[in-house]
Chains A and B, each alone.
Chain A
Amino acid sequence: MNIARTLFISVFLILFLVSCAAKNNRSMVVVLLPGSDGKTGQIVVSNKGGSRLISKPEQAIEIRSANVAPSEPFTMNIEKIRDDFGEALSALPSPPIHFILYFHTGTSIITEESRKLLAKILPEIASRKTMEVSVVGHTDTEGTRKMNQKLGMERAMEIKNLLVSQGIDPRIIEVTSHGEGNLLVKTPDGVPEPRNRRVEVILR
Chain B
Amino acid sequence: MKILIGIVTSLCLLYPFIVNASDSPVGNVKTLKGTASIIRNKTPLEAKSGSELFQNDSLKTGADGSISVVFKDDTLISIGPNSELLINEFSFSPAEGKFSFVARLLKGTSAYVSGIIGKLSPQNVRFETPVANIGIRGTKFAVKLDGDDEVIR
A194 to chain B, nearest CB (A): 19
- Which listed segment binds B: A31-39, A103-111, A115-123, A159-167? A31-39
Question: With the chains together, A130 CA to B72 CA distance in Å?
Answer: 14
Question: With the chains together, A25 CA to B76 CA distance in Å?
Answer: 29
- Which listed segment binds A: B2-10, B13-21, B110-118? B110-118
A30 touches B (CB below 8 Å)? yes
Question: With the chains together, A25 CA to B31 CA distance in Å?
Answer: 32
Chain A residue numbers with a CB within 8 Å of B28 are 131-132, 204
Cross-chain contact A89 with B148 (CB below 8 angstroms): no
Contact of B148 among A22, A179, A202 (CB under 8 A): A22
Cross-chain contact B132 with A35 (CB below 8 angstroms): no
Known pairs A28-B143, A66-B130, A88-B83; A44 contacts B137 (CB<8 A):
yes
Total CB contacts across the A-B interface at under 8 A: 180
CB-CB nearest in chain B for A172? B50
A196 to chain B, nearest CB (A): 12
Cross-chain contact A89 with B131 (CB below 8 angstroms): no
Cross-chain contact A33 with B142 (CB below 8 angstroms): yes
Within 8 A of A (CB), among B128-153: 129-148, 150
Chain A residue numbers with a CB within 8 Å of B83 are 88
Total A residues in contact with B, Cβ cutoff 8 Å: 57
B74 touches A (CB below 8 Å)? yes
* Size class of the contact patch on chain B: 35 or more
Known pairs A131-B49, A178-B95, A182-B120; A26 contacts B141 (CB<8 A):
no
Contact with B along A80-119 (1 / 0, CB 8 A): 0100111111111101100000000000000000000000
9 residue pairs, one from A and one from B, having the closest CB atoms: A41-B138, A26-B147, A41-B139, A88-B80, A35-B139, A181-B94, A91-B78, A85-B142, A87-B80
What are 14 of the A-B contact pairs (CB < 8 Å)? A26-B148, A28-B146, A40-B140, A41-B136, A44-B136, A84-B109, A88-B109, A89-B78, A89-B111, A91-B67, A91-B79, A131-B70, A152-B95, A177-B95
B residues adjacent to A (C-beta < 8 A): 28, 30-31, 33, 49-50, 63, 66-68, 70, 72, 74, 76, 78-81, 83, 93-97, 108-111, 113-114, 116, 120, 129-148, 150
For the A-B complex with A27-B146, A30-B144 known, give 14 more contacts whose Cβ atoms are closer than 8 Å: A12-B63, A24-B147, A28-B131, A28-B144, A32-B140, A35-B138, A66-B132, A85-B80, A88-B109, A91-B80, A92-B76, A92-B78, A131-B30, A181-B97
